[in-house]
Homo-oligomer: A and B are copies of this chain.
Amino acid sequence: MNSPITLTDVARQAGVSVATVSSVLNNTGRVSEGTRQRVLEVARDLGYVANLSARSLKGGRTGVLGMVVNDLASPVFAEIARGASMAARNVGLDLMLYTTSVTAQRERERVIGTVSSLCDGVLIVVSGDSDDYIRALEQPRFPAVLVNYLGETPLTTVGADNYWGARQATEHLAHLGHRRIGFITGASGSGQGPERLRGFLDALAAHGLPGGEDLIRTGDFSRPRGFAATCELLALPERPTAIFAANDESAFGAMDAAKDHGLRIPNDLSIVGFDDVPAAAVVHPALTTVRHPFLDIGATAVRLLQEAQQGGGASGRRVELMSELVVRHSTGPVGQEHQA
């Protein structure tokens, strides 16, 4: 039974005091080079790993950032976590993920409390609206950064633009000659969807294109709903030549529906998504979409969290990254078939 190596073990083995070992390991205080080398060597040989609990209890920095999420399965979340994880690693920090249900209030407070007793700071990634979730953090007891949160809050938040990305995507379609463009909305609860719709509508107006009710279909960010909404759109007397879906998942559903109707993409129907999840680049044809810079969002969140730690309280900044149109192969000029 190999019990974990403690600082004391290293000290004993190296024939010095614990304080000396601590100094060496933390690069603090002046220790003679000889002692230094010996301690380092012993620590390595013994496979010493600092006990985080002890360090945290003592009140020092643990070098661990916490991340609280409520949906492990979403690729959007996964990308943000990946970005945060890489950024943390780059500055010598670890990232710890904690899952929690959106529903139970007590549960969330417990999770936040737990994480904050372990970590130097916490990143909160919540999908949809869960305002009271946030309320618990607002007492500036602990460095926290909110990711993709659109509500009112004094805390620091990071997100990315939705409006201009949607506008850009719609204009891309307009420049391609499309005049009837369908739109598949997101889930009504989320804050991201409406902004995307607004960008779409404004671009339409700017180009004098029709944006009637019949061209706007309710989706819920899911693939099956994207499929169904597209079928509705294609059943219209004057069917659209392009469809803009409020997220990639819906766009994948739209692609399925188009192929099902024997339509070629992009010849017969152009399709644009939103998010640029990894799958968007590998579907066939590759999806034209608006890149939400999730990796950057994660990395920025880590940076802001570090600033919040050093700066002390909640800085209350609101950072919005730019999203960007990525043109791939699911969009093209209006085909002859439909121009008549």
Contacts and interface: CB of A to CB of B under 8 A. Distances in A.
**Lowest 4 CB-CB distances: which A-B pairs, in order?**
A49-B113, A256-B284, A97-B97, A53-B56
A271 interface: no
Contacts of A47: 109, 113
Contact of A117 (B49, B82, B140): B49
Interface string A303-325: 00000000001000000000000
A279 B97 CA distance: 24
23 contacts: A1-B140, A1-B313, A2-B139, A4-B117, A4-B141, A49-B114, A49-B117, A52-B114, A52-B117, A52-B118, A53-B56, A54-B57, A72-B81, A73-B78, A81-B99, A94-B111, A96-B98, A97-B97, A97-B98, A97-B99, A222-B282, A223-B282, A256-B283
A257 interface: yes
A96 B94 contact: no
Interface in A209-241: 222-224, 227
B117 A99 contact: no
A227 B118 CA distance: 46
> How many subunits of this chain does the assembly comprise?
2
Contacts of A282: 222-224, 253
A202 interface: no
A15 interface: no
Interface in A59-115: 64, 72-73, 75, 78-79, 81-82, 85, 89, 94-99, 101, 109-111, 113-114
A244 to B, nearest CB: 20
A282 B231 CA distance: 15
A92 to B, nearest CB: 11
A117 B72 contact: no
Contacts of A109: 47, 49
A3 interface: yes
Nearest to A118: B52
A51 interface: yes
Given A4-B116, A51-B57, A72-B81, 8 more contacts: A52-B53, A75-B75, A94-B111, A94-B114, A96-B96, A97-B98, A97-B99, A222-B282
